[in-house]
């Protein structure tokens, strides 16, 4: 029942995710080889989660990536359905159920449009930061200080939304995520 005000279409989210995916992968050691059995397992479990959840009715074409970084324990999703897990995190998971939980959580962020929401909020925050700086400009540098304070407030708001997004994904009824 949450109202979202996002001026971005699902097609635009997919395009942004596809464009950003190679850079995100490169920052974390790159994708493992396409024939790697661990990647094939991640893709199979990811497809199963999508097929057995509300995500199957979403406009997103999910693609699952295994990043070769063995040290970082992380998973994340880009707008439009690009889902990533690091080898470091995968190696800590005990079974496919745990992997499905991690991937399902990231799929939830995509379906709930959290990435697009953050982009929209960030753009609004940047505009407000600039407006505060311009409005307070004087010879004593108050405009720069006002812009810095506004930027800090924008950052705090973004952090709040991130925590809210995590809670939203965790509070989603399991039967709607996993069939």
Cβ density class 17-29: b for 16+ within 10 Å, e for less: bbeebeeebeebb
Is the torsion defined by CA of 3, 21, 11, 104 positive or negative?
A: negative
Active-site annotation holder among 11, 13, 106, 117: 106
Contact 80, 18 (CB under 8 A): yes
Contact 64, 46 (CB under 8 A): yes
SS3 of the chain: helix, strand, coil, percent, to 5: 65, 10, 30
Q: Which residues face 98 on adjacent strands?
A: none
42 CB contacts (<8 Å, ≥6 apart)?
Answer: 64, 65, 66, 85, 90, 99, 103
Active-site residue, 106 included:
yes
Beta pairing class for 63-67 and 82-86: parallel
Residues with catalytic function: 106
């Amino acid at each position: 029942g949450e109202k979202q005000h996002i001026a971005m279409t699902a097609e635009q989210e997919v395009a942004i995710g596809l464009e950003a995916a190679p850079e995100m992968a490169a920052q974390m050691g790159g994708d493992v080889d396409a024939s790697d059995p661990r990647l094939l397992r991640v893709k199979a479990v990811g497809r199963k989660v999508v097929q057995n959840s509300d995500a199957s009715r979403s406009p997103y074409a999910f693609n699952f990536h295994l990043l070769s970084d063995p040290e970082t324990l992380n998973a994340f999703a880009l707008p439009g359905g690009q889902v990533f897990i690091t080898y470091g995190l995968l190696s800590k998971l005990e079974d496919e159920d745990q992997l499905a939980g991690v991937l399902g959580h990231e799929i939830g962020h995509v379906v709930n449009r959290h990435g697009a929401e953050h982009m929209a909020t960030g753009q609004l925050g940047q505009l407000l930061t600039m407006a505060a700086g311009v409005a307070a400009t004087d010879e004593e540098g108050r405009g720069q200080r006002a812009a810095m304070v506004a930027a800090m407030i924008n950052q705090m708001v973004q952090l709040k939304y991130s925590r809210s997004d995590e809670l939203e994904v965790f509070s989603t009824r399991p039967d709607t995520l996993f069939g």
